[in-house]
A = this chain, B = another copy of it.
Amino acid sequence: MTRQARLGENQYGKAEIRVMKVDRDRPRHVLHDLTVGVALAGDLAAVHLAGDNSAVLPTDTQKNTVYAFAREHGVDQIEDFATLLAKHFVDTQEAVHRATVTVDEHGWERLADHTFARSGRETRTAGVTHDADGTRVCSGLRDLVLLSSTGSEFQGFATDAYTTLPETDDRILCTSVEARWRHAEPQTDWRASYDAVRSALTNAFADTYSRSLQQTLYAMGARVVSTCHGVAEVRLRLPNRHHLLVDLEPFALENPGEVFHVDDRPYGLIEGTVLADGATADDGTW
């Protein structure tokens, strides 16, 4: 005898749409190199239960829409582009009640009027969700790799029978920052806001004498919400990229913080949220 099943939460869409938009209507071209994702939710019971596709806008159409909107509306700010797309799907498809659009922007440096080199620095990100409750915009970045060669210690920690780690009063601290921040209200200039948050993150990282990566995380998040206008909350995910001091004693060499093995795995992973005072935590996934 088998039990009955029922459908729970679901969504569908197109992931990793790779778009290059070139602004050519000016003496020096401008590049917008994006990876876009769309996810739609709504009245989708019939397709799951009966294979009735009448409410399913193909993911291929979603892709076409991204390309067409890039041409029609441009992509000056990724938060605006994501918002435009998210609203479009909800407003034009009766079955779609919620649309989430994510955009990654890959940076390029100008070498000449029409020539560029991929910058390889962090990726700027945006995520927008639109439904009957309104539009929620999240900005972010990832793969911003920061390192302090001194000014970091790790001491006075809890110990148990499985602890062998020695205390250290000077280590390399290195992390690859993934940050997302929620805006209390739309920004008038998303790029200026991005630059301000990025500076707050890197400055706090550089300024903070670190007793732990957790403390550095909080310092970074607090700097953002306290100095960046309109940012209500920032979520940080900081892998601890361990640089292990190599023991050179067998070779009759001292190693005063000079030579390190860069380890891949395992790695510490520190995750935390910092809120602006007065801001309400948003429990949703974003």
Nearest B-chain residue to A115, judged by Cβ: B206
B212 touches A2 (CB 8 A): no
Which of A128-136, A185-193, A261-269 lines the interface with chain B?
Answer: A261-269
Asked if A63 is at the interface of the complex by the 8 Å CB criterion, the answer is yes
Nearest B-chain residue to A116, judged by Cβ: B147
Task: Note all chain B residues with C-beta closer than 8 A to A84.
Answer: none
Copies of this chain in the oligomer:
4
A163 touches B61 (CB 8 A): yes
Shortest Cβ distance from A177 into chain B, in angstroms?
Answer: 9
Contacts known (A57-B160, A253-B71); A47 close to B212, Cβ less than 8 A: yes
* Neighbour of A243 across the interface among B6, B20, B49, B274, CB < 8 A: B20
Task: Note all chain B residues with C-beta closer than 8 A to A217.
Answer: 10, 48
Contacts known (A20-B260, A60-B164, A145-B118); A12 close to B214, Cβ less than 8 A: yes
CA distance A268 to B122 in the complex (A): 26
Task: Note all chain B residues with C-beta closer than 8 A to A165.
Answer: 58, 60-61
B268 touches A59 (CB 8 A): yes
List A residues 220-271 near B (Cβ within 8 Å): 221-222, 225-227, 233, 239-240, 243, 246, 248, 250-251, 253, 255-271
B262 touches A33 (CB 8 A): yes
Contacts known (A3-B276, A149-B29, A149-B114); A214 close to B260, Cβ less than 8 A: no
CA distance A263 to B92 in the complex (A): 29
Nearest B-chain residue to A123, judged by Cβ: B120
Nearest B-chain residue to A65, judged by Cβ: B162
A67 touches B226 (CB 8 A): no
Contacts known (A215-B47, A250-B164); A266 close to B57, Cβ less than 8 A: no
A162 touches B215 (CB 8 A): no
| Proximity string of chain A (140-156) to chain B, C-beta cutoff 8 Å, 1 when within and 0 when not | 00011111111100111
Footprint of B on A, CB under 8 Å? 2-24, 29, 31, 33, 37, 39, 44, 47-61, 63-65, 67-68, 70-72, 92-93, 95, 108, 111-112, 114-122, 143-151, 154-165, 172, 202, 205-206, 210-215, 217-218, 221-222, 225-227, 233, 239-240, 243, 246, 248, 250-251, 253, 255-278, 281, 285
12 A–B pairs (Cβ distance < 8 Å), ordered by A: A12-B269, A12-B270, A24-B258, A56-B157, A58-B157, A59-B268, A70-B258, A71-B253, A72-B253, A108-B147, A115-B202, A285-B285
7 more A-B residue pairs beyond the given contacts A61-B159, A67-B259, with a C-beta to C-beta distance below 8 A:
A13-B269, A16-B265, A18-B261, A51-B210, A71-B258, A115-B202, A119-B121
